[in-house]
Amino acid sequence: MDTGSDLTFDALFGAVEQEWQDQALCAQTDPEAFFPEKGGSTREAKRICQACGVRDECLEFALEHDERFGIWGGLSERERRRLKKQIG
């Protein structure tokens, strides 16, 4: 059935995906805090994540896309790996 729309599922999904990223508090702060040097502090990034309204969406994105660097959804790469093992 032709709905007259040029939007594909992928385009619509991409737009929704981008919407949560636009709402993320990290988008309004220094990205360096979310990608610290090895051994650097993650405290500031995790503090920002705790107050973020799209933290769950961020974590879900990181888990689905196997993000290996940085703080996503308030968790480090090591913490995300541990979580993935726990949830299977």
Distance (Å, rounded) from C-alpha 83 to C-alpha 38? 21
Q: Are the beta carbons of 64 and 43 closer than 8 angstroms?
A: no
Q: Taking CA 25 as the corner, what is the angle to CA 21 and CA 31, rounded to the nearest 5 degrees? A: 85
- Residue 64 is assigned to a ligand binding site: no
66 is in an annotated binding site: no
Rg (CA), the chain: 15
Is 24 among the annotated ligand-binding positions?
Answer: no
Report whether 26 belongs to an annotated binding site.
Answer: yes
Which residue positions form the known binding site for [4Fe-4S] cluster? 26, 49, 52, 58
Which residue positions form the known binding site? 26, 49, 52, 58
